[in-house]
Amino acid sequence: MTDLCDMLKGANLGINIASELINCLLFADDIVLLGNTEEELQILLNIAHKFVSKWSLKFNSSKSKVLVTGKKKDSDKKWYLGNDLIEEVNEYKYLGVYFSRSLKSTYHIEQYLKENFQRKINHAIRILGEHGDFNRINFGHSLWMSAIRSSLTYGCSVWFPSSQKCKELLESFQYKVGKIILNTKMNIPKCALLAEFGWESINRFMDRQRIAYYARLKNLPNNRLSKIILDEIISVKCNEWKYIENIETILQTAGLDHYANGNINVNTFNKFYGNETTNTQLCNILGKSSLNLYQSFVVVSRKQPYLSNVDDFRSTRLKFLARTNCLPINATLQRMNLTTNNECQLCSSNAIENIFHVMLDCPFFSRLSEKEQVLTYKHVSRI
């Protein structure tokens, strides 16, 4: 491959970056050819064919594609590697990420991730089912944090820009995983679910990844290709890939827009951005009338201690649903032979005997172990 790179370099063609022509990128035994024009790219393909013929090598024409950025596909244009026709495509997957003609991430998120997410969901359901209800929430939390989220956000540092539809789709993935962990179909308010689990919104997580990657690029030595390309993008200012503009938007959201042209302290950014995220989440909770009860419980957005109950998933889930106002109150009261206007007979608080009092406030029930509470709730059918 080194000989091929030397042949390509001798053509004096490619993309001019800091007075150096870049016309190929290597990763293992894969090679990407880069040309400024259609004519340049075809010349580079011809050079590659000469190399292949010289060493009697074979290539897979079905896996070789051409992607032209910034313009619509020309149905009349043909690309050849020797006598083999190379297909021109609108999107191409390289190193696990789909790139499109517009350099936007819409296709990768709305098509590729959406198609693959159902497989991840089925896998999560199977794993949680095999694991059983013992320590289910802690296990599900680890499954999301270490496996599912990382696979969904792979390469997110270079996803730009993300449309509102893409952001909502990614958040729906996170929400579905949370409901699967709880094994419920109840429509839990998203902001309450994230607050109870102590989860950061997946879009906020990706923003932090982008800033961390940008800071890493900024701190590279000046002779590194990645740093040279970044400096070129910054100097051009107007380009098809709105990378710098999106970084500036994220920094501005955290109140750190003055860092855009200088070195970014990632820890400082995470602190400011984390505070802003928490405030936004609490505002969303306070803005929902259906969460009037929950507003009296939530203090900070973190995984709530009661969710760490390892051997009583049923009562933990009931408490979760009660706190977030997601229990079918009237039906549940009827099954428990309770009414909505009687005083509790089990304690001296003179409180109204309703499901919230019984499950959350009643001193009588608070003295019982959670397993005894579940036995007491034996009239409550599975939710």
Provide block-wise average pLDDT over 10 residues at a time, the chain (383 residues): 88 87 89 93 94 86 88 86 92 92 89 89 89 90 93 90 87 96 92 92 93 91 89 73 83 74 80 83 86 77 84 88 77 57 73 69 64 46 37
Q: What integer pLDDT is reported at residue 366 of this predicted model?
A: 63
Q: H or E stretch including 244?
A: helix 243-253
Number of domains in the chain: 3
> Both 105 and 25 in a single domain?
no
Residues 87, 78: Cα–Cα separation, whole Å = 8
Among 67, 89, 111, the domain boundary falls at: 89
In this structure, are residues 173 and 201 in contact, taking their beta carbons and an 8 Å threshold?
no
Residue 152 domain-assigned (yes or no): yes
Question: Residue 208 falls within a domain, yes or no?
Answer: yes
**Domain C-terminal end among 62, 89, 116:** 89
108 and 234 share a domain? Answer: yes
| Domain-ending residue, one of 260, 283, 317 | 260
Q: How far is CA 174 from the centre of its chain?
A: 8
Let me know: does 149 contact 205? Beta carbons within 8 Å.
Answer: yes
pLDDT for the residue numbered 380: 38
Q: Are residues 164 and 213 in the same domain?
A: yes
Tell whether 77 is covered by a domain: yes
Two tokens at 202? Answer: 């997946």
Shared domain for 12 and 114, answered yes or no, is no
The predicted model scores a pTM of 0.81
Per DSSP bridges, beta strands 30-33 and 24-27 are antiparallel
Looking at the domain assignment, is residue 347 inside a domain?
yes
Shared domain for 183 and 253, answered yes or no, is yes
Q: Are strands 65-67 and 84-89 parallel, antiparallel or unpaired?
A: parallel
Look up residue 368 and give its amino acid.
Answer: L
Check residue 329 and give its pLDDT: 60
Query: Do the domain assignments include residue 57?
Result: yes
For the chain, where are the E strands, in sequence order? 15-17, 20-22, 24-27, 30-33, 65-67, 79-81, 84-89, 91-94, 97-100
pLDDT at residue 161, as a whole number: 67
Q: Is 352 helix (H, G, I), strand (E, B) or coil?
A: strand
| b (16+ CB within 10 A) / e for 272-305 | bbeeebeeebbebbeebeebeebeeebeebeebe
Separation between Cα atoms, residue 3 and residue 348, nearest integer Å: 87
User: Are 207 and 107 part of one and the same domain?
Assistant: yes
Q: What is the pLDDT of residue 335?
A: 59
231 with 111, same domain: the answer is yes
**Direct distance between the N- and C-terminal alpha carbons of the chain, in angstroms, rounded to an integer:** 61
Q: Are residues 138 and 232 in the same domain?
A: yes
Q: Which residue has the tokens 């059918």?
A: 381
Domain that holds residue 61: 2-89
Q: Assign residue 224 a region (left: φ > 0; alpha: ψ between -120 and 50; beta: otherwise).
A: beta
Q: Are residues 85 and 154 in the same domain?
A: no
Could you give the angle at the alpha carbon of 346 between the alpha carbons of 343 and 350, nearest 5°?
35
Q: Tell me which amino acid residue 91 is.
A: E
Q: Quick check: is 282 in a domain? A: no
Whether residues 213 and 100 fall in one domain: yes
Output the DSSP codes for 63-83.
Answer: T-EEE--SS---TT--EEETT
249 sits in which H/E element: helix 243-253
Rounded to an integer, what distance in angstroms lies between the CA atom of residue 219 and that of residue 222? 9
| Amino acid (one-letter) located at 98 | Y
Q: Are residues 140 and 256 in the same domain?
A: yes
Contact criterion met (CB below 8 Å) for 184 and 383: yes
Q: What are phi and psi of 96, to 5 degrees?
A: 90, 0
Return the pLDDT at 73.
83
> Which two three-digit tokens encode residue 275?
């505070």
Same domain? 78 vs 101: no
For residue 381, is it within any domain?
A: no
Residue 34 lies in a domain: yes
For residue 115, CA distances in Å to 177, 179, 268, 282, 289 come to 16, 19, 37, 33, 35
